[in-house]
Amino acid sequence: MIAIIIARGGSKRIPNKNIKIFEGKPMIHYPIEAAIRCGLFENIYISTESQKVIECVRDYSLLNEDVRIIDRPYRLALDHYTTIEIVADALLNTLQNGSPFDEKVCVIYPCSPFLTPKILEESFQVFNEGTMNYLMSIGTSPLRDAGNFYWGKASSFLSLEPIHGSETKMFPIPEGRCIDINTPKEWLEATKMFKEILKKNGSACGPNELTLTPVCSAPAKLHLLYLLLEERTKQQSISHQKLPSYREHIKFVLSRPYRCWWLLMHCETMVGAAYVTHANEIGIFLLKNFQRKGFGTEAIRIIKNVVNMPLLANVNPENKESIAFFKNLGAKVLQVTYKL
């Protein structure tokens, strides 16, 4: 089973809408992470003609072999081409590149910040148990296309069967999570909805609400990374013999030293940071107020889903707490390194 996220670069009413920063991270990162975390898809394809979109999602494709980029012909990014035509092109592209044919396809729109793994899982159950050609996400008050996703048969997309027809069923999206974002006014409305969700769930948010925000997309929070350095003890540190200056810290961050570097966000609050190096080494650091609350374990779970490859953790031998943490996760000791 596959997902196809269709993300063109052009947007007339909201420039660069699909990669515009929405509440701390690029808009398209929300549906990518929902698709990864739901665990339904063998492959997640991102169809785009835009180099900017490719750069925005490159970390996901580098870290997870199941996330792949499809180079969409520029003509298919023009306004008069339909979703069905774009999806049909993407499906033909996957088949030409040797991917096995899969009849079940989920087409996801990139501007879907309220999409959750649970919504994808529940909608798939409805689609899988029925005989319809398509299942479309809808809002119910008033009745409308939610602009989130469609489930469909690959054969229906390839034969260009219309989505809006008698063989299409509907899957309602909760009103508090349903908005089709096409104008600046709707963007502001979505921002208010996002804040309402955080306000409503704020005190009840547990580790399962942890999200990854790329450091490069949150320049306003770089000072919090420095706070992590200031809180780090000698037992926790391997690479730093002394605390770098703030100027040195900013220079290091801007050099993009890691394959991927995230802020760990719980609702609107940064609780820590994590990175994966080019040698597949992972580092996780939590602010003192958020330690021993399950965030470290949840961060490891999410990152393993995103990266989808074996990871290594280097731990100071005096850092007994981290050693116990990784042992409890079932990690195995591979080697002991000495400095001569």
Q: Is residue 41 part of a domain?
A: yes
- pLDDT for position 287: 87
Q: For residues 275 and 187, state if they share a domain.
A: no
Domain check: are 194 and 212 in the same one? no
State the Cα–Cα distance between residues 231 and 226, nearest whole angstrom: 9
Which amino acid appears at position 188 of this protein? Answer: L
Assign 263 to helix, strand or coil.
strand
How many other β-carbons are positioned within 10 Å of the β-carbon of residue 258? 18
Asked whether the bond before 174 is cis by omega within 30 degrees of 0, the reply is no
Q: Which two tokens stand for residue 27?
A: 């808009």
pTM, 2 dp: 0.68
When pLDDT is averaged across residues 88-112 and rounded to a whole number, the result is 87
Pairing of strands 25-26, 21-22: antiparallel
Region 98-124: what's the mean pLDDT?
89
* Domains held by the chain: number: 2
Q: Is residue 336 part of a domain?
A: no
Phi, psi of 191 (to 5 degrees): -60, -45
What torsion, rounded to 10 degrees, do the Cα atoms 186, 192, 193, 194 define? 110
Residues 74, 75, 79, 85: is their CA dihedral positive or negative? negative
Say if residue 258 is in the same domain as residue 165.
no
CA neighbor of 190 nearest in space, from 117, 112, 269: 112
Residue 75: the pLDDT is 86
Check residues 274 and 242 and name the one with the higher pLDDT. 274
Residue 231 has a pLDDT of 84
pLDDT digits (tens, 9 = 90+) for 204-227: 344 456 888 888 766 667 777 888
- For residue 141, what are the contacts with CB-CB under 8 A and spacing of at least 6? 175
pLDDT of amino acid 70 = 92
Q: Is the pLDDT of residue 257 over 80?
A: yes
Query: Residue 79: is its pLDDT beyond 80?
Result: no
Residues 147-165: what's their mean pLDDT?
Answer: 93
CB distance 285 to 228 below 8 Å? yes
Cβ atoms 104, 154 nearer than 8 A? yes
Residue 290 lies in a domain: yes
189 plus 40 within the same structural domain = yes
Q: How many residues can be counted in the chain?
A: 340
9 with 110, same domain: the answer is: yes
Residues 136 and 268 in one domain: no
Specify the pLDDT at position 318: 84
In a domain, 339, yes or no: no
One DSSP character per residue, 3-20 reads EEEE--S--SSSTTGGGS
Domain boundary among the residues 201, 228, 250 is at 201
Nearest to 264 by CA among 202, 221, 326: 221
Residues β-bridged to residue 6 = 47
Q: If you ran DSSP here, which 8-state letter would residue 175 be given?
A: G
Cβ-contact 308, 64 below 8 angstroms: yes
DSSP-assigned letter for residue 133: S
- 194 and 211 in a common domain: no
Share above pLDDT 70 across residues of the chain, in percent, rounded to a whole number: 92
Tokens representing residue 332 in the block: 């195995």
What is the average pLDDT score of the chain?
A: 85
Please report the pLDDT score of residue 242 as a whole number. Answer: 78
Instruction: For residue range 1-47, list pLDDT tens digits in order.
Output: 899 999 988 787 899 999 998 887 889 989 998 888 788 898 999 99
Phi, psi dihedral angles at 220 (to 5 degrees): -70, -15
pLDDT band of 235, cuts 50, 70, 90: low
Q: Which domain holds residue 252?
A: 207-328
What pLDDT does 55 receive?
Answer: 87
Mean pLDDT on 241-261: 84
Neighbours of 77 (CB within 10 A): 18
Distance CA 37, CA 111 (A): 17
Contact 12, 184 (CB under 8 A): no
